[in-house]
Amino acid sequence: MVSVDSEDSRKTSTLITQEKPETLIKHIKKIQTLKLPSHHPILPSDLNPNHLYRIFTKLCDRVPEDFERLLGVHGVGPKTVRALSLISELIYGDKPSFEDPARYSFAHGGKDGHPYSVDRKNYDTSIELLKDAISRAKMGNHEKMEAIKRVGCLKLA
């Protein structure tokens, strides 16, 4: 959702919050009946209508001006954003970009295509592996140092 190409999806997700919570929950329940491909990043079980109803009611009472303010509302987390994004895509036709840079934060996902968050130890091990591969690569010192600097930028704060 942070990609420039996701602008329409962000706008629609924000506009959706002006709808009645009952309408949004009706959309969610309709989506839950769909047979999405197994590789779809959002499963119907990820959508909890009761929890989303509480959040949608809160949003309806305090409609955010833009997507940034939407993210700042207490209780709006990844599942709410995924639900709004899914409604935006399936009901309104505004798809998020799947070239989103945030998607690469799940690079250590399973072979089944379902990503999971990367734990710090696994992340650090991967960075060290990349640094080692760069240092052994047959290229000039300047290129190696530039590559190692880029890998070093991956460190978590």
Query: What gap in Å lies between CA 125 and CA 47, rounded to an integer?
Result: 33
Higher pLDDT among residues 10 and 47, named by residue: 10
Quick one: pLDDT at residue 157? 39
Average pLDDT value over all residues in the chain: 76
Cβ atoms of residues 122 and 21 within 8 Å: no
Structure tokens at 15: 């506009």
Query: What gap in Å lies between CA 106 and CA 13, rounded to an integer?
Result: 23
Structure tokens at 122: 């696994």
Quick one: pLDDT at residue 48? 83
In angstroms, the Cα distances linking 91 to 30, 87, 107 are 10, 5, 29
Helix (H, G, I), strand (E, B) or coil at 74: coil
Query: What gap in Å lies between CA 15 and CA 18, rounded to an integer?
Result: 6
Structure tokens at 121: 């130890």
Tell me which residue of 132, 138, 134 sits closest to 146, measured CA to CA: 134
> pLDDT tens-digit profile of 86-127?
888 888 888 887 664 444 444 555 555 555 565 677 767 777
22 pLDDT tier (thresholds 50, 70, 90):
very high
Query: What gap in Å lies between CA 123 and CA 36, rounded to an integer?
Result: 31
Helix (H, G, I), strand (E, B) or coil at 49: helix
> pLDDT tens-digit profile of 62-94?
888 889 989 888 888 888 888 888 888 888 888
Q: What percent of the chain has pLDDT over 90?
A: 3
Quick one: pLDDT at residue 99? 67
Quick one: pLDDT at residue 96? 81
Model's pTM, two decimal places? Answer: 0.55
